[in-house]
């Protein structure tokens, strides 16, 4: 009889503990601004284990996993007692709260986010930056955190890059490797998807920064020269060079970018510039790096 009673109480407790409830409260910034994003944390952890590649999309499609407070800070979301909520807004310090703790003050839930510490953005007014043009081989490219500026908001992602210099075209860099910063705004294909690239890096106020979107993938030819293919979609070779492309013979096939890997090769790598053999792409015509450098 005692064991039956324990099982019954356990069942009741679990039923109550897993029951969905409507949690209502206020979430705003210290300046009384609403539009705080509220995410069901435990559910997202489960999703990340089962759907690592599409977690973000699934979160946005499922309104049971997240909500936003309105302009006055009011919000309502269905939760389990075992869950927790993450409150966040850009440029503010996020907060995580367990539902069990929030329910202790269920009649007066008031989340206030404090701004992140910020620094003043001082623009670089370098008018004639020294330019380094080189063919580089990727050593490492990793994301970097943007400073939280008080007077400026950047929509670009920031990366730190380290490349081995295979060939200089400006003859003014005295080391075998180069470290630089790059900024990108949702490019379809970034320079770091290719092992070897023609890169343009400028020196701005003592910082080496990649000239935004200026790069060309390059490949070694059988004659020992480097050459860049002619792409139609994100191609800049056509705009940069007025010269006629050279007929070339590749030593190795082209590296297919992640963006293009899901599409038919014939749609991207078209004749007469390319040849496709056994699922591999070979460049038939291309530009030499010297053709792509303009004053």
* CATH number of 176's domain: 2.40.50
Does the structure show a pLDDT above 70 at 236? no
Closest CA to 23 of 60, 67, 61, 72: 67
What's the pLDDT at 13?
40
In a shared domain, residues 26 and 109: yes
In a shared domain, residues 211 and 261: no
Domain total of the chain: 3
Share the mean pLDDT of the chain: 84
In a shared domain, residues 238 and 188: no
In a shared domain, residues 199 and 265: no
In a shared domain, residues 207 and 250: no
Q: Is the pTM of this model over 0.85?
A: no
pLDDT tens for each residue of 118-170: 999 888 988 889 999 999 999 999 999 888 888 888 888 999 999 999 999 98
Better-predicted residue by pLDDT, 41 or 284: 284
pLDDT tens for each residue of 74-126: 999 999 888 899 999 988 999 999 999 999 987 889 999 999 999 998 889 88
In a shared domain, residues 104 and 27: yes
Residue where one domain finishes, among candidates 113, 143, 177: 113
Q: With H, G, I as helix, E, B as strand and everything else as coil, classify residue 100.
A: helix
Closest CA to 205 of 221, 184, 181: 181
How many CA atoms are closer than 13 Å to the CA of 196, on its beta-carbon side?
Answer: 17
Residue where one domain finishes, among candidates 162, 193, 217: 217
The CA-based dihedral angle spanning residues 91, 92, 98, 99, taken in that order and rounded to the nearest 10 degrees: -90
Tell whether the torsion through CA atoms of 278, 279, 283 and 284 is positive or negative: positive
Query: Is residue 279 in some structural domain?
Result: yes
In a shared domain, residues 191 and 227: no
Tell me the percentage of the chain whose pLDDT exceeds 90.
Answer: 49
Among 31-35, 112-116, 175-179, 268-272, where is mean pLDDT lowest? 268-272
Query: Is residue 11 in some structural domain?
Result: no
- Tell me how many degrees the CA angle 264-265-267 measures, rounded to the nearest 5: 70
Better-predicted residue by pLDDT, 141 or 63: 141
| Domain span holding position 234 | 221-295
């Amino acid at each position: 009889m005692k064991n039956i009673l324990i099982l019954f109480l356990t069942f009741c407790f679990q039923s109550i503990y897993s029951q969905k409830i409507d949690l209502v409260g206020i979430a705003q910034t210290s300046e009384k601004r609403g539009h705080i994003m509220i995410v069901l944390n435990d559910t997202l952890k489960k999703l990340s284990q089962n759907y690592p590649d599409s977690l973000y999309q699934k979160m946005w499609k499922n309104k049971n996993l997240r909500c936003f407070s309105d302009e006055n800070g009011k919000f309502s979301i269905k939760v389990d007692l075992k869950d927790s909520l993450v409150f966040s807004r850009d440029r503010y310090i996020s907060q995580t709260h367990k539902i069990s703790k929030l329910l202790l003050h269920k009649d007066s839930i008031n989340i206030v986010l404090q701004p992140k510490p910020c620094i003043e953005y001082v623009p670089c007014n370098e008018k004639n930056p020294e330019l380094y043009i080189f063919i580089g081989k990727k050593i490492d490219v990793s994301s970097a955190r943007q400073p939280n500026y008080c007077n400026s908001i950047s929509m670009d992602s920031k990366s730190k890059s380290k490349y081995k210099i295979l060939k200089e075209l400006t003859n003014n860099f005295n080391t075998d490797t180069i470290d630089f910063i790059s900024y990108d705004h949702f490019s379809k294909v970034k320079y770091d998807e290719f092992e070897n690239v023609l890169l343009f890096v400028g020196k701005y106020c003592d910082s080496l920064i990649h000239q935004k979107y200026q790069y060309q993938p390059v490949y070694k030819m059988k004659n020992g020269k480097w050459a860049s293919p002619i792409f139609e979609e994100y191609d800049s070779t056509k705009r940069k060079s007025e010269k006629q492309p050279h007929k070339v013979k590749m030593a190795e096939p082209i590296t297919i970018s992640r963006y293009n890997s899901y599409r038919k090769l014939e749609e991207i790598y078209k004749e007469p510039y390319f040849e496709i053999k056994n699922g591999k792409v070979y460049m038939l015509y291309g530009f030499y790096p010297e053709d792509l450098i303009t004053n």
